[in-house]
């Protein structure tokens, strides 16, 4: 589920829509959590689908680390790529704000971290100073954002967390371990509002 202080807005005819903050979302806020209404599409489930679904799958789903596709039920699936993303961590089962996201700013991911297939590279026009120009399958994308991700996770207990009920303590601990923080954080220390 995407953070409640967001809305989907049209960006332009090329990009389509994007997800924008409607209130300040401070660094360390859970911006998205994988939840029971999101659908894990295993290769077995996708096998019987005809080629008419190819464009749909490309447009609405992302690849997880272990070869499934994920279809988010809400605006989470409309998050765009940026070479300077405001959010990160999808492999953890949740995402956090890597920076303070101000009202009107877009929630974005580095698609390089989303396990693109070889055919799924694209020309980027995100406009960031760091823009790579072409976004391709990228084994090092995770490491690129690790310092920011670690700092954001370390700040999680200092900000309101409306999505806290959707992240189990085990998922949170595993996430902290994955970015190199002690796995001692407890969910009840997150301020659910």
Partner 1 sequence: MIHPHTELKFISSSVGHGVFATAFIPKGTFLWVLDPFDRILTADEVRALPPMLKTAVERWAYVDPTGHFVFCWDHGRYMNHSCRPTSRGIGDAFEIAVRDIQPGEELSCEYGILNIAKSFPCACGQPGCRGSVGPGDLERLFPIWDAEAQDAFQYAASVAQPLLPFVKAGPRDHAILEVLAKGSTEAELPSHRDYRREGVTDGTVEGEGLWAIAAAPARRPRATRRAGAAAR
**Cα separations in angstroms, 105 against 6, 39, 65, 85, 178:** 10, 27, 28, 11, 28
Closest separation between CB of residue 81 and partner 1, Å? Answer: 21
Per CB under 8 A, does 104 bind partner 1?
no
157 versus 168: smaller Cβ distance to partner 1: 168
Length of the chain, in residues: 193
* Cα 36 from Cα 55, distance rounded (Å): 25
Per CB under 8 A, does 11 bind partner 1?
no
* Cα 74 from Cα 35, distance rounded (Å): 10
The answer to whether the Cα torsion of 139, 140, 141, 145 is positive or negative is: positive
Closest separation between CB of residue 181 and partner 1, Å? Answer: 25
**Long-range contacts from 127-133, C-beta under 8 angstroms, 24+ separation:** 128/82, 128/83, 128/84, 129/84, 130/83, 130/84, 131/83, 131/84, 132/83
Per CB under 8 A, does 24 bind partner 1?
no
Per CB under 8 A, does 15 bind partner 1?
no
Choices 29-37, 84-92, 101-109, 122-130; region in contact with partner 1 by CB under 8 A: 29-37
DSSP 8-state class, residue 79: P
Contacts (CB under 8 A) with partner 1, residues 73-102: 73-74
103 versus 165: smaller Cβ distance to partner 1: 165
Contacts (CB under 8 A) with partner 1, residues 35-74: 35-37, 39, 49-50, 52-53, 56, 71, 73-74
Contacts (CB under 8 A) with partner 1, residues 156-175: 165-166
Per CB under 8 A, does 8 bind partner 1?
yes
Closest separation between CB of residue 37 and partner 1, Å? Answer: 5
Contacts to partner 1 by CB under 8 A? 1, 8, 35-37, 39, 49-50, 52-53, 56, 71, 73-74, 165-166
């Amino acid at each position: 589920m995407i953070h409640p202080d967001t809305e989907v807005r049209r960006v332009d005819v090329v990009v389509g829509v994007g997800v924008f903050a409607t209130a300040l979302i401070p660094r360390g806020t859970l911006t998205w959590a994988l939840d029971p209404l999101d659908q894990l599409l295993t290769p077995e489930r996708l096998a019987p689908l005809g080629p008419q679904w190819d464009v749909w799958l490309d447009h609405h789903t992302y690849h997880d680390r272990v070869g499934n596709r994920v279809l988010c039920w809400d605006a989470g699936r409309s998050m765009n790529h940026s070479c300077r993303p405001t959010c990160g961590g999808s492999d953890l089962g949740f995402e956090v704000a890597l920076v303070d996201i101000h009202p009107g700013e877009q929630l974005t991911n580095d698609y390089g971290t989303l396990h693109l297939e070889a055919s799924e590279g694209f020309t980027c026009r995100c406009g960031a100073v760091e823009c790579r120009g072409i976004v391709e399958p990228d084994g090092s994308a995770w490491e690129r954002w690790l310092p920011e991700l670690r700092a954001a996770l370390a700040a999680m207990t200092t900000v309101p967390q409306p999505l806290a009920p959707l992240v189990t303590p085990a998922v949170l601990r595993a996430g902290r371990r994955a970015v190199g923080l002690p796995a001692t954080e407890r969910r009840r220390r997150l301020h659910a509002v």
